[in-house]
Amino acid sequence: MRKRVGRRSSTPREVGAPAHRAGVERLLASYHAIPPSATVRLAKKTSNLFRARARTNAPGLDVSGLSGVISVDPVARTADVAGMCTYEDLVAATLPYGLAPLVVPQLKTITLGGAVTGLGIESTSFRNGLPHESVLEIDVLTGSGEIVTATPDGEHADLFWGFPNSYGTLGYSTRLRIELEPVKPFVALRHLRFDDLTELQTTMDAVVESRSHDGIAVDYLDGAVFSASESYLTLGVQTDEPGPVSDYTGQDIYYRSIQHESVTHPKTDRLTIADYLWRWDTDWFWCSRAFGAQNPRIRRLWPKRYRRSSFYWKLIALDQKYDIGDRLERRKGNPPRERVVQDVEVPIERTADFVRWFLREVPIEPLWLCPLRLREPGPAGASAVRPWPLYPLEPKRTYVNIGFWSSVPIVAGEPEGAANRLIERTVTEFDGHKSLYSDSYYSKDEFTALYGGERYDELKKRYDPDSRLLDLFSKAVQRK
């Protein structure tokens, strides 16, 4: 896993600065080729968003040269990364140095630029915050066609702080310099079972505060809720100790391996660091069951290379294009279904109550839990209160991300998006926020109050004065 290297050694995954500069030149040329009256967008066929993309006949930005790791500095523990580089490629470039990004979102094809201009989270977020908090500087192609370098306290500090959660409405990242952290070859896991959600909440809060449990350090922390009486916290610790490891890229399914009967004796497991980072990707958490990929007979015939989130995404795209799911429901005499694919954050002290409400009102399970706190101390130049204005979490406060990804039957007579609207209202009542990668139904006033308000308007006027890019409300909120 580890190897001794000089200051600027490279791996085959690193593309180098000249290739990156050529990619930036192609990007700029494509920007200037777009008519001034047309909306600027990326020319990409894939996405990790679950909301409709804006349609336009204009050519998109050529980002074909912005998909690699530019360089890794193992001494400074930093990496320069192109905006469209996937975390799969980034991790492949850093692990040979015994390093990893501070937060590695769960799915391989999430891009670094996407995780920063959107939001990403993972089981290190209770100690490392969100992906944008490990960014040291960022080059952004703004809506005005200029590439600027944003740092925490430089000329474009306002863009540095306002870029996260802007979803490409202020510009697109072309290069990001990020911090890396040392990692060991293996991760040892303990799966703690709870039959009471309040007890789970209390234990999770204690682990976040102490970064340990029963005297053992905790490097990774997330959880799963199968019902009000069956939930789990998974505690991971890095280790150099050799030994057998599990493999969840074959017939075994990771989330099913979590479950066990005992609330007094945790189930244990071990994975390589790479398999741990991608443990959720093989089955897209648990969403592969919708395609039959968890049926043992089908799974044996399902090619391994297609057991990954990017392929399931293609199946989702086909369903959306041809309305396959609702056609099948109609044949069964069932109503069509509403997509409920969301990640929300609520304060940790409200987590058990929110989960109980959700399990009563929304017929979806399992749920994913992932605690997070903004990093301490934050980057130089950070505001003492809510430093990231477009997703204003409070410093020194623990939140829990709750993810749920499925669909529910549409009730006749209910407004479009009834379940999602109910969830949005309830999350706000719980003093929480929700991510904007999926369907949203907020009014303009509600949205403005939650996602940046006047600060966003100021950034839009400075970095996209001619509105070449969609504004955040138009891009994020589903409207006919």
Q: What pLDDT shows up at residue 7? A: 41
Q: Which of 170, 105, 7 is nearest to 401 (CA)?
A: 105
* Measured distance CA(91)–CA(350) in Å, rounded: 34
Instruction: Output the pLDDT for position 47.
Output: 61
Tell me what pLDDT residue 326 has. Answer: 79
pLDDT of res. 56: 57
Nearest-5° angle of CA 124, CA 129, CA 132? 115
Q: Which residues of the chain have pLDDT under 70?
A: 1-13, 44-58, 378-386, 478-480
Q: pLDDT per residue over 203-226, tens digit each?
A: 999 999 999 999 999 999 999 999
Round to whole Å and give the CA distance between 463 and 173. Answer: 13
Q: Which domains does the chain have, with CATH numbers?
A: 17-182 (3.30.465.10)
Please give the pLDDT value at position 183: 98
The pLDDT value recorded for residue 274 is 98
- Given a contact cutoff of 8 angstroms between Cβ atoms, the answer to whether 363 and 218 are in contact is no
Contact residues for 364 (Cβ-Cβ < 8 A; gap 6+):
340, 358, 404, 405, 406, 408
**From CA 384, how far away is CA 354, in angstroms rounded?**
28
Q: What confidence tens digit (pLDDT) does each residue in 8-34 have?
A: 456 666 888 999 999 999 999 999 999
User: Which residues pair with residue 14 across a beta bridge?
Assistant: 69
Distance CA 205, CA 207 (A): 6
d(CA 396, CA 409): 39
Q: What is the pTM of this model?
A: 0.93
The H helix count followed by the E strand count for the chain is 16, 16
Can you tell me which residue has the tokens 């990001």? 176
